[in-house]
Amino acid sequence: MKKKRLVQRILLAVGVLALGTTIAVFIGYRHVTRNPEILLDRVQKEADMQLNKIRQTATKNGIREWRLEAESATLMDQHKTMLLTRPDVEFFMDDGDNVRLTADRGTIFTDSSRMNISGQVSADTSLYRFRTDALAYDPATRELRADTPVTITGQAFTLRADSMAMNLKTNITHFEGGVEGTISEDLQL
């Protein structure tokens, strides 16, 4: 009987401790996301290098894949990331068109050249403009992917979807989830 009560008390204590830890982590996360300057202070202390007004061009086999400009960049070598402020990225497509993308912030993973861009993401091509909250670039597939709602507008159409994947090699874009739009009768295919 005493062993059973001891086990129950230990299990209760572990449960209360786990619940308390979960609540503390949740409150801490909300505090940091509502006060990003706290996170910036911590990042600046861990930064290996901070740069203002940067430019970078990525090439593969002598062909430009993208060009980046940003107000500032913070290199965190230990995490293999470069944090960007106000990135402006131009992706070069095989058909000669370009995608010019701007956002509030971004991250380049230095070990793979993958990018995550977020905060009022806006991108333009010669034919249309799309807007979303977050976008990822995968250099292995040369694909831009938005897993947040996206709105695309062109001269004769407007399209909304829950997610989008744009292949920069083929210039083919796929939309998924809640796809809806308006097409003008003036649209020429």
Q: What's the mean pLDDT when you consider all of the chain?
A: 84
- In a 13 Å sphere around the CA of 15, the CA atoms on its Cβ side amount to 6
| pLDDT tens, residue by residue, 119-157 | 999 999 888 899 999 999 999 999 999 999 999 988 888
Indicate the residue type of 9.
Answer: R
* DSSP state at residue 79: G
- Residue carrying structure tokens 């600046």: 44
Mean pLDDT of 36-41: 58
Report the DSSP beta bridge partners of residue 150: 161
Give the position of tokens 């062909």. 63
pTM metric for this prediction: 0.70
Residue 99: name the closest of 72, 131, 141, 56 by CA. Answer: 131
Distance CA(126)–CA(135), nearest Å, equals 19
Closest CA to 165 of 154, 176, 152: 176
User: 108, 115 in Cβ contact below 8 A?
Assistant: yes
| pLDDT confidence of residue 33 | 60
